[in-house]
């Protein structure tokens, strides 16, 4: 897809370095970020902050590490920036019980926290877990926190998914918000400061005034810089809220291919029949909004993750003419999951974690309802569950109205 943007949207980092004097109380900082958080000119924020007079005393890295090159789920050790020698302290450690921001800053050395990470606008994309740690540390330490807003790559006008059920709060589901929560990262910080971290001294640096909620990344004029190893393109971010569900199954979600989350399959998948069944299910439900999605049979061999170096048959997903604006990715994902299950119920398995004592897909969804409905219900029942979730997400949208900046 090509960008139709006439004016480049400026993220919070660009607004900050335009007028650093307005944020003088944030000079000695602990920076929660990774190296993929760049300016509109594609410069790493760390260098731009230093040139604008900000003294970065500590760097706190989320999942995938500061250089965003560690595979998903791997715990990360502390390190040191190879050139600047600034300490890099991991926020993604085994057990997730450690808040290295508090540990590092409670003894002094910095007077503020700055958060700048490109998010995906999805509850189980763990960078919002890092945001929670930053807000919690600010509240605990009585230290101001500055959140540099960034565009929501899938748009901030669509909400999808229900709220988590009791017992399902984790790093994959850190807050009582929908799967797609319809906020920018700065707006989410606003919401959390009002609902959870009520004593946090929060300031948000807004996006430029040309930004609108229904913009997707390709409409911003910005260059994509993959914020994590598998989030390789703006299209990846659009499919991710729905096709990430396949992480909770024994199907490949496309990690280790050139198109993660747009390539779904396994060695025994009958791709052509599955694609035909999916189209038939959409017709049965009267759903026409996915006409601009291409669902084609393909073969692929992942070079990592599930089925590494094994030939798989699968589906290659993409956008045909018409574009992805308004794409309800979670609806697409749950219906595709049900379609594949019905055709391959003897082969498709849901992955269970002995450590958490939960199915992984339940942790992604915030409860067991989807898995149970896929196994025990029909395609119409899955759609009804989605509509039930929609009521919850719309109620959340009203609750979060006061946190919105645009």
pLDDT digits (tens, 9 = 90+) for 30-74: 999 999 999 999 999 999 999 999 999 999 999 999 999 998 988
The three-state secondary structure class of 60 is strand
pLDDT of amino acid 55: 97
Confidence of residue 95 (pLDDT cuts 50, 70, 90): low
Tokens of 232: 């390789």
Longest dimension (CA), the chain: 63
Helices (H), 44-155: 45-51, 100-105, 127-141
**120-131 confidence digits (pLDDT tens):** 999 999 999 999
If you write DSSP's letter for every residue of 293-338 in order, what string do you get?
EEEEEEEE--SSSTTTT--EEEEEEEE-TT--TT--HHHHHHHHHH
- The Cα 269–Cα 250 span in angstroms is 11
- In this prediction, residue 5 carries a pLDDT of 42
Half-sphere exposure of residue 234: CA atoms within 13 angstroms, side-chain side = 23
With cut-offs at 50, 70 and 90, classify the pLDDT of residue 116: very high
**Rounded Cα gap, residues 114 and 124, in angstroms:** 22
CA distance 124 to 18: 33
At 97, the pLDDT band (50, 70, 90 cuts) reads: low
Same CATH topology for 12-225+398-403 and 234-390: the answer is no
Contact yes or no for 304/254 (Cβ under 8 A):
no
274-297 confidence digits (pLDDT tens): 999 999 999 999 999 999 999 999
- Phi, psi for 102 (deg, rounded to 5): -65, -45
Q: Which residue has the tokens 């948000």?
A: 204
184-235 pLDDT, tens digit per residue, is 999 999 999 999 999 999 999 999 999 999 999 999 999 999 999 999 999 9
CATH numeric code, 234-390: 3.90.1150.140
CA contacts within 13 A on the Cβ side of 127: 29
Fold of 12-225+398-403: Rossmann fold (3.40.50)
The structure tokens 């659009």 sit at 238
The answer to whether 131 and 164 have CB atoms below 8 angstroms apart is no
Give me the residue spans of the domains in the chain. 12-225+398-403, 234-390
Label residues 355-367 b or e (16+ Cβ within 10 Å = b): eeebbbbbbbbbb
């Amino acid at each position: 897809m090509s960008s139709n943007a006439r004016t480049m949207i400026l993220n919070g980092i660009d607004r900050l370095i335009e007028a650093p004097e307005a944020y003088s109380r944030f000079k000695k900082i602990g920076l929660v970020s990774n190296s993929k958080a760049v300016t509109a000119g594609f410069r790493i924020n760390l260098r731009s902050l230093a040139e604008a007079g900000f003294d970065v005393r500590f760097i706190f890295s989320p999942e995938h590490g500061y250089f965003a090159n560690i595979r998903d789920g791997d715990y990360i050790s502390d390190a040191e920036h190879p050139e600047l020698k600034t300490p890099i302290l991991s926020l993604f450690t085994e057990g997730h019980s450690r808040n290295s921001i508090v540990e590092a800053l409670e003894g002094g050395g910095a007077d503020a926290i700055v958060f700048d990470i490109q998010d995906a606008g999805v509850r189980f994309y763990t960078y919002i877990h890092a945001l929670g740690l930053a807000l919690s540390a600010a509240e605990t330490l009585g230290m101001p926190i500055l959140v540099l807003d960034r565009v929501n790559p899938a748009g901030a006008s669509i909400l999808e998914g229900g709220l988590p059920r009791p017992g399902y709060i984790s790093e994959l589901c850190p807050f009582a918000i929908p799967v797609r929560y319809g906020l920018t990262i700065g707006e989410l910080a606003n919401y959390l400061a009002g609902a959870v971290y009520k004593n946090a001294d929060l300031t948000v640096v807004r996006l430029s005034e040309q930004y609108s909620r229904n913009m997707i990344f390709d409409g911003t004029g910005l260059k994509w810089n993959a914020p994590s190893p598998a989030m390789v393109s703006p299209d990846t971010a659009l499919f991710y809220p729905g096709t990430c569900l396949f992480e909770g199954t024994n199907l490949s979600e496309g990690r280790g291919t050139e198109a993660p989350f747009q390539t779904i399959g396994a060695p025994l998948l009958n791709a052509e029949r599955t694609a035909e069944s999916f189209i038939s299910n959409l017709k049965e439900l009267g759903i026409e909004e996915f006409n601009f999605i291409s669902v084609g049979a393909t073969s692929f061999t992942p070079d990592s993750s599930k089925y590494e170096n094994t030939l798989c048959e699968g589906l290659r997903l993409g956008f045909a003419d018409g574009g992805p604006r308004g794409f309800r990715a979670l609806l697409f994902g749950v219906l595709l999951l049900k379609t594949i299950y019905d055709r391959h119920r003897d082969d498709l398995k849901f992955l269970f974690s002995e450590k958490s004592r939960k199915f992984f897909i339940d942790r992604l969804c915030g409860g067991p309802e989807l898995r149970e409905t896929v196994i025990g219900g029909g395609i119409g029942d899955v759609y009804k569950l989605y509509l039930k979730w929609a009521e919850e997400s719309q109620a959340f949208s009203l609750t979060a109205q006061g946190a919105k900046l645009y």
